[in-house]
């Protein structure tokens, strides 16, 4: 979320440099207007597939994919020597932002206990605002190239800490991997007795059973509509 905030606020310190005559590749005002707005368009391509991907490969590895996309985006920004590459970097950043907004609250909700869930869900907004503050501070005191280079450290740090992350118990239950779900929930709850987490496991199983009929009905409706379209 630090990176999301930084990417969203990046045009604020970057555009004054890019639109001046001394820029390595001067950007017109019209071209510059696309740099902050294009991420809102490409974010749709992160919003839509994120729920599908996270149910296929898991919440944990979906976050890894988003982190890699953020890293590639910053690398492109640092290597961009023309407007086209810079715009492509912003497009990729938008995909990552869209996926993060869709995915991260689900991940936080599934790994955190009820009594602290609201606190952690609030933290992601705080860190997003912190990222915007960081990028504007760097832009105020450092050259454009140095600012971009420093921001690469954010996704790199997230990827390096990836092995410390845990998959969510709910995802394991979705895949009928009950033992892994119990072990993971025991680690997250800091308990050693499986009986202490069985109440939560039962609740998750009930939620899964309630969700499955809805998902099957939705899938059947999509198939039926697709079949009708083909006939038409």
- The CATH number for 51's domain is 1.20.1250.20
Closest to 135 in 3D by CA, of 2, 23, 20, 33: 2
Domain count, the chain: 2
Whether residue 157 is found in the same domain as residue 181: no
- The percent of residues in the chain predicted with pLDDT above 90, rounded, is 43
What mean pLDDT value characterizes the chain?
85
Sorting pLDDT into bands at 50, 70 and 90, what band is 211?
A: low
Same domain, 208 and 159: no
Choose the final residue of a domain: 165, 186, 217.
165
Do 131 and 219 fall into the same domain?
Answer: no
Q: Does 229 have pLDDT greater than 70?
A: no
Q: What mean pLDDT do residues 148-164 have?
A: 92
**Residue 170 C-alpha from the chain's centroid:** 19
Do 83 and 180 fall within a single domain? no
Same domain for 101 and 9, yes or no, is yes
Range of the domain at 181: 173-231
pLDDT in tens, 162-171: 888 899 998 9
41 and 141 both lie in a single domain: yes
pLDDT of residue 232: 45
Supply the pTM of this predicted model. 0.82
Indicate the range of 42-56, 145-159, 198-212, 215-229 predicted with least confidence.
215-229
CA dihedral 191, 194, 196, 200 (to 10 degrees): 110
Residue 45 and residue 95 in contact, taking contact as beta carbons nearer than 8 Å = yes
Return the pLDDT at 219. 43
Q: What does the pLDDT read at residue 212?
A: 56
Looking at the structure, tell me whether residues 108 and 183 fall in a common domain. no
Q: Token match 């760097």: residue?
A: 138
């Amino acid at each position: 979320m630090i990176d999301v905030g930084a990417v969203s606020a990046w045009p604020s310190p970057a555009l004054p440099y890019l639109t001046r005559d001394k820029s390595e590749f001067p950007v017109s005002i019209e071209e510059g207007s696309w740099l902050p707005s294009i991420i809102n368009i490409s974010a749709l391509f992160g919003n839509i597939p994120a729920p599908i991907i996270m149910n296929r490969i898991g919440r944990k590895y979906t976050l890894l994919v988003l982190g890699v996309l953020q890293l590639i985006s910053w690398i492109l920004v640092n290597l961009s020597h023309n407007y086209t590459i810079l715009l492509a970097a912003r497009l990729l950043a938008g995909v990552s932002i869209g996926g993060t907004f869709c995915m991260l609250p689900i991940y936080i909700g599934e790994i955190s206990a009820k009594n602290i869930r609201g606190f952690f869900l609030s933290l992601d907004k705080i860190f997003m605002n912190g990222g915007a503050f960081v990028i504007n501070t760097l832009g105020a005191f450092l050259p454009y190239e140095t600012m971009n280079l420093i921001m690469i450290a954010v996704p790199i740090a997230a990827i390096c800490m990836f092995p410390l992350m845990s998959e969510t118990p709910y995802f394991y239950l979705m895949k009928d991997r009950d033992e892994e779900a119990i072990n993971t929930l025991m680690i997250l709850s800091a308990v050693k007795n499986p009986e202490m987490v069985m109440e939560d496991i039962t609740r998750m199983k009930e939620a899964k059973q309630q969700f499955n009929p809805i998902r099957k009905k939705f899938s059947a409706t999509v198939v039926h509509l697709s079949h009708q379209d083909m006939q038409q």
